[in-house]
Structure formats: structure tokens, C-alpha cells
Homo-oligomer: A and B are copies of this chain.
Amino acid sequence: MAEIYRASTTAPVNIAVIKYWGKRDPKLNLPTNSSLSVTLSQSDLRTHTTASCSPSYPSSDSLLLNGSPQDVSGARTQACFRELRSLRKQLEDADSSLPKLSTFPLKIVSENNFPTAAGLASSAAGFAALVRAIANLYELPSSPTELSRIARQGSGSACRSLFGGYVRWEQGSTVDGSDSVAFQVAPAEHWPGMRAVILVVSAAKKGVSSTTGMQTTVATSSLFTARANETVPRRMKEMQDAIKNKDFETFGKTTMMDSNSFHATCLDTYPPIFYLNDVSRAAIKVVEQINKRAGKIIAAYTFDAGPNAVVYYEEQNEKEVAGLFKAMLGENEGWKGVRGDGVQANGESLEEVNSEVGVAVGLLKEGVSRVILTGVGEGPIRTEESLIDEKGEPTL
């Protein structure tokens, strides 16, 4: 029997604090502005992927995600396979003793430890894991930044999930996208106290997909150019300085303003795109109230292309932020487990918040279906835990 080559990795989700919205080249996923994200801990949210190849495999490449076969014929997945095979081929051409992995069919098996449908940036973790796993399989010497160029072609924001900590994606200016890549601004341990509570909101209906939405914004919003050309470049600088200085007030204010700016350009799209609903707005009101009580910014909301709120805060303010949400949404299973058990439900503050923004509290209680407590985390981690056995079969 022919040899089965295998390599596995896990990769994280990232949530942008300066948002990616708009492509200057939809095929290559080249963005109209740079963006910046926090990589979330893989103990809470991660994709686990095993890449394998063998001359004995059926001739076409395959991908199994959470047990379901996925279509790999799309241009995005194909671009990743092609680029990675091309890098492997360079190695093989330079050293004829290497097995010709680039010529073997690929079999990929992938699993998320969170529900794919919840709108939690699963494609970012998914493509980062796919690219990282194949790069491991092929023993590529490429740096994470070099791999980010490839992962970007799978899903724009995936390029940021190749690093842990605080990550920026430079928009770049070349036509081929060679300089549209990700860099680490700071590792997770630079500012390890960063925490996030994710409020998963049950939406009545899925909104416009981000791929379609962002290009409609580029085509129709009269305010979009100002965001891409003026607002974001300024905020990228402010945000990097805030991270370097561990200045949560600036980090938080810029995070909230950028989320609002992004959703403003969605609303300015024709026809308008709405991702925030009344529950999202309730989360904003509660965060504003938390900050008002604290007399400074200790919590910062941000929303991707959906109604879920991600609220960043620092560990030392856990009681005033996560503790308040725990008191508010106490019966949610997100409050169980290692992270949840440690959070002290803040009943005293809740009473006060209830009297100030009781309507918002009621909307959150009704509309939040799931809570995820997490923090800043590492980039992809190589693992020996394989989702494909020695015979080339999925382990599940």
C-alpha cells in the first residue's frame, strides 16, 4: 500500500477591531482598506484540520467539514491548492529526493468546535487551518506572512488568522496582491489580559452575505470612499499605538467607532444593508451604560456582518463587564465551564443598569441565544491529533 502523508493543525477565529469591507479586486480578495484584528483563544473557538495526500487516493481533491463533503471546485479553494502545490513543487524541483507530494490528490478533514452557522467568522479559521495544514504537510519553509497571501485568496480575513495576538492586514498596492498580507502587531502575551464576551443573537433571517454586501457598498455608497481613504488609515495608526501602549480607552473607543463606521456604510448602501437589529442596539446601550458607570471606557462592542455582539474588555474589569452580562443572561450555558464558572455574576450593578436601560436589558435577555467567553490567543498550532487515520480514512 502506498504511503499516506498527513499533517494537522488548529487555527483560531479573529474578530476585527478595524473592519475589512470592500474589495478592490474581488478575484484575489484585495481589500480597499487595511484592517486589524484580535485573534481569539482556540480553547473556545477553533478549526481543527488534517491535510493528507497519497498516490493511492482517488484522483480528485476532497474536503470534509464537520462530517459533510464540501465542494472544492470553487475558485477560492482552488487558488489555495494551486499556490501551495506550486510552493511544494519548487522544493521538489530543488531536491529530487523529496517525495512528489505536489502531484498527489489531497484529502482534507476539518472540524469546528463551534456551530458554523452562528456567524462567528468560521471561514477565517477554516481557510487559515486549511492553508496551514497543507503547508505543514508539504513542509513548506514559508513564513506566516507568506502563507497569509495564500489564505487571503481563500477568504480575505483568513489571512489574519495565521497569527496570534494582534494582527494587521496591509491592503497593499500591487495588482497581483503580493503585498496584501498580514503581520503581527503584537503577540498575545504582550497584552494577555484582553478578554471578549460574544453575545450570539438569534437573527430571524440571515442578512446579505458579506461577499455580496461589500461589493454593493463599494458600488453604491457615497460615504464609503471617505471611510476607506481617510477614516481607516488614521484609525489603523491609532489602533496600533493603542495596542503598543495597552491603552484600552483608545483601543475601545476606536473599536466602537470603527464598527459604527462600517455599519454606517452598510446603511448608506443601496439598497441599504442592515446587520444590526434591536438586540444588537440593546448590547450597545448596555456597553454604553457599563462605561458610564465606570467613568471611562472599560468595554468595547464590535459587530461583524451579523447581529452578534463581541464585547472586548480587560481581565481586571471582568466583574463589571462579563459579570454584568452573566447576571443578566444567567441561564445560558456559556456561563458554565472553565471560563464561565470563574466569572462572578454582578447582581448589584445589574440592578442599577436595569433601572437606567431596562428596555435594553429585556431585549438582550430575549434575544441572546448563546454566550461565548474567550480571550486573546495564539495563532495556528501544529497538532499530532489527526482527523485522518493511517489508512487515509476520517477518524470519525
Contact = CB atoms under 8 A, between A and B. Distances in A.
A261 B359 contact: no
Contacts of A256: 270-271
Contacts of A269: 260
A222 B265 CA distance: 11
Contacts of A220: 257
Interface string A218-246: 00111101110011001000000000000
A243 to B, nearest CB: 20
Contacts of A284: 271-272
Is the contact region of chain A dominated by helix, strand, or loop, or is it mixed?
helix
A164 B170 CA distance: 53
A272 B263 CA distance: 11
Nearest to A230: B222
Contacts of A230: 222
Contact of A265 (B223, B253, B278): B223
Contacts of A272: 260, 284
12 contacts: A222-B226, A222-B257, A223-B223, A223-B226, A223-B231, A223-B265, A223-B268, A260-B267, A260-B268, A264-B265, A271-B284, A271-B288
Interface of A: 204-205, 220-223, 225-227, 230-231, 234, 253, 256-257, 260-261, 263-265, 267-272, 274, 277-278, 281, 284, 288, 359
